[in-house]
Structure 1
Amino acid sequence: MMDLVEIFPAFLLVFVRVTSFFLMMPLFSYRTVPTTFKVGFGFFLAVIMFIEMDAPALEIDGVYYLLIIKEALIGILLGFIAYLIMSAIQTAGGFIDFQMGFGMVNVMDPQTGAQSPLMGQYLNIISLFFLLMVNGHHLIIDGIYYSYQFIPLDQAWLPLGSEHLLQYVLKSFSTMFLIALQMSLPVVGCLFLVDVALGITARTFPQLNIFVVGIPLKIGVSLVILMVVMSTMMAVVSQIFETMLTTMRGLLHLFGGL
């Protein structure tokens, strides 16, 4: 019993980091995933991680409560960075919706409970299937699994006020928009050409009601272009997964002061 009492504080820190990571990370943080599954999976993953690490002996005192806050911040920030990069898919869908004429149309996302663009939700579902197909969720879990190589349990501080950390987060934010632009550019570019052609047609044939013709034409063209460039979009989605893992690894380096 004494051994369990000695190792419990360190195990609790591991459990806090894992469960707080599941609060924000893609796929595992969705509302459709039962809370009991999240807690149970986090518990067993924490047990596996704790068995394989050389955990220090800790005492429950004032410093220990600061360590709990630090572990929760690490998990939440890692999950937030992963979620930020993955949100590029819905941002790309928002760009496409605006050009298609679906800018006012939003659907309820049952996974997050928030309003999301129509095409963004469609691309997000396909990307999640692609993520599961290539075992990307295993790589995401690896990110929290190997985080203790960079940030040990007994590290009592995080460089949250570091200039390099703020620049890194802003760079990740800009990278998300750049990837979203790459995903939406084929469809948005083609729809821009359609708008130009409709404008020329409206000037050439003033008696033609261009608004009645233009909206279904833009929708049809965008759907055709989506079918043509879907394989290219999945290549960009694979780039998103790679960027997400690289960004998480870089954030761990900054947290660990490496």
Structure 2
Amino acid sequence: MTAFFLAAPVFSFRTLPTAFKVGLGFFSALVAFSTVATDVEIQVDAAFIVLIVKEAVVGLALGFVAALLLYTLQIAGGFIDFQMGFAIANVVDPQTGAQVPIIGNFKYVFSLLFLLSVNGHHLLIDGVIRSYQMVPVENMFISIGSESVALFITELFVSIYLIAFQIAIPIVGSLFLVDVAMGLIARTVPQLNVFVVGIPLKIFVGFLMIFLTLGMFFYLLQSVLTKMIETMGQLLQLFGG
């Protein structure tokens, strides 16, 4: 449980106190222990260490998959920043400490607020609680190196970039049309310096399209959250055999 909260979105923020994460992991494990029934007695020996490592791997994998799908918004923001001219300006992500695109971080914060507003964090906790039913505690090993897991990861990365492209294409396509218009103006009116006019125009059109496509953005964000829950279930099925 603690490994899941170290990698899952919202719960893994560095701004959250460590005592809160440890306490949340402890009480969540206590709830899981009281609800998941098992007839197998687990002895404290060398195999117990293996079981601990196995549980940590399952928790980290679930949290990483959930966080990876939300990072789709930052990938889409990177596409938009490149067209708007914001690619050189980044901000620091408080969760990872890495530099992320401005528009990507803007959309990522929107996605976190949307996740909390629809109680998506409850679904994440419910998913990791259900993992004890799909991946029994007494199972010594999980099928990490199987062909199905590799195929699952490949399809996950493909879907991530596909969703990011769907989110960014309305804004990127509009900015591409602005580039085409600036090129035509540069050919017809050579006296006009399109570089001076084009940069602020692309920024204005970019922000305007972000505002106009907010409705579609939340519609796609709903599909991202649905995909996140489904992907966690598929991963548990692969781990549980």
Distance in 1 between the 2:146 and 2:28 partners? 31
1:38 is aligned, of 17, 21, 25, to 21
Partner of 1:15: none
Distance in 2 between the 1:249 and 1:230 partners? 29
Partner of 2:131: 147
Give aligned-pair identity as a percent. 49
Q: Which runs of 4+ in 1 moved over 6 A?
A: none
Over residues 140-172 of structure 1, what are the superposed CA-to-partner deviations in whole Å (9 max), with x where a residue is unaligned? Answer: 111101011110000001111100110001111
Q: Is 1:164 matched with 2:148?
A: yes
CA contact (8 A) 1:84 1:173 kept: no
Counting matched residue pairs gives 240
1:133 is aligned, of 104, 117, 126, to 117
C-alpha RMSD of the superposition: 0.8
Distance in 2 between the 1:223 and 1:206 partners? 28
CA contact (8 A) 2:36 2:133 kept: no
| SS state at 1:152 partner | coil
- Runs (5+) with no aligned partner, structure 1: 1-17
Partner of 2:100: 116
CA contact (8 A) 1:19 1:75 kept: yes
Q: Which amino acid aligns with 1:29?
A: S
Q: CA deviation at 1:111?
A: 2.8
1:232 is aligned, of 216, 224, 227, to 216
Q: Is 1:99 matched with 2:83?
A: yes
Q: CA deviation at 1:83?
A: 1.1
- Runs (5+) with no aligned partner, structure 2: none
Q: CA deviation at 1:84?
A: 1.1
> Given the two structures, how large is their TM-score scaled by the length of structure 1?
0.91
Partner of 1:67: 51
Q: CA deviation at 1:54?
A: 1.4
2:206 is aligned, of 218, 222, 235, to 222
Distance in 1 between the 2:103 and 2:234 partners? 31
1:179 is aligned, of 141, 163, 166, to 163
CA contact (8 A) 2:6 2:63 kept: yes
> Given the two structures, how large is their TM-score scaled by the length of structure 2?
0.98
Distance in 2 between the 1:126 and 1:246 partners? 21
Over residues 199-218 of structure 1, what are the superposed CA-to-partner deviations in whole Å (9 max), with x where a residue is unaligned? Answer: 11111111111111000000
Q: CA deviation at 1:33?
A: 1.1
Distance in 2 between the 1:197 and 1:48 partners? 61
Q: Which amino acid aligns with 1:141?
A: I
Q: After the TM superposition, which residues 174-213 of structure 1 pair with which residues of structure 2 at under 5 Å, given as runs?
A: 174-213=158-197
